[in-house]
Amino acid sequence: MERIVIPTSQGYLGIAWTRSGLAVLNLPIDDQKKAAIKLEEVIEKLKIKTVYQVFQIISPDSLEAELRDYFKGKNRSLKFPVDWGYYSDFQRRVLLRVGEIPWGQCVSYGQIARDIDMPSSSRGVGGAVGSNRVHLITPCHRVVSGNGGLGGFGSGPEWKTHLLALEGHDIGRSFLSI
């Protein structure tokens, strides 16, 4: 697995990829060493031992440039291949649907459950969203509670509100257009 820690205006991002695509895209951390440690912790949990040269699939320079533009509000659609091999079928279905949520829009956990034809699995959707390791590519911050509230976020509510504000949401109002 290839890995890199890159600086952005928001902090240092840890990124790792395999022959199939991105496996990890952590949210920024203000300290480069902490970002590298966090990245290695996620890689260790995935138990990946093989390292691939995959610059034909993902150019670190283009990924870095696109992420920098994203945090400046210039790039609204990060499209890179994802290695879905580290997710269950259910997680993959949920996260593929999450990846379809456009910039500036939010969808509830319940709506995702209905969209994948499992209307009673809102909590399971929450768990699948929480398993996301390719933040921003699969924009889990755009999934909110059914009542229009913020909902959960593994990197903390500060990051979720920051990303939603970056996308133009009025923090303090409902995130859903009801």
Using a 10 angstrom Cβ sphere, with 0-12 exposed, 13-18 middle and 19 or more buried, the burial of residue 5 is buried
Instruction: Round to whole Å and give the CA distance between 85 and 72.
Output: 31
Alpha-carbon distances of 9 from 28, 51, 139, rounded to whole Å:
9, 29, 19
Return the closest-CA partner of residue 14 out of 79, 31, 130. Answer: 31
Angle formed by the axes of helices 122-130 and 89-98, nearest 10° = 80
CA dihedral (79, 125, 3, 136) in degrees, to 10, reads: 40
Catalytic-residue membership of 106: no
The residue annotated as part of the active site, out of 6, 25, 129, 140, is: 140
Report, as residue numbers or ranges, the catalytic residues. Answer: 140
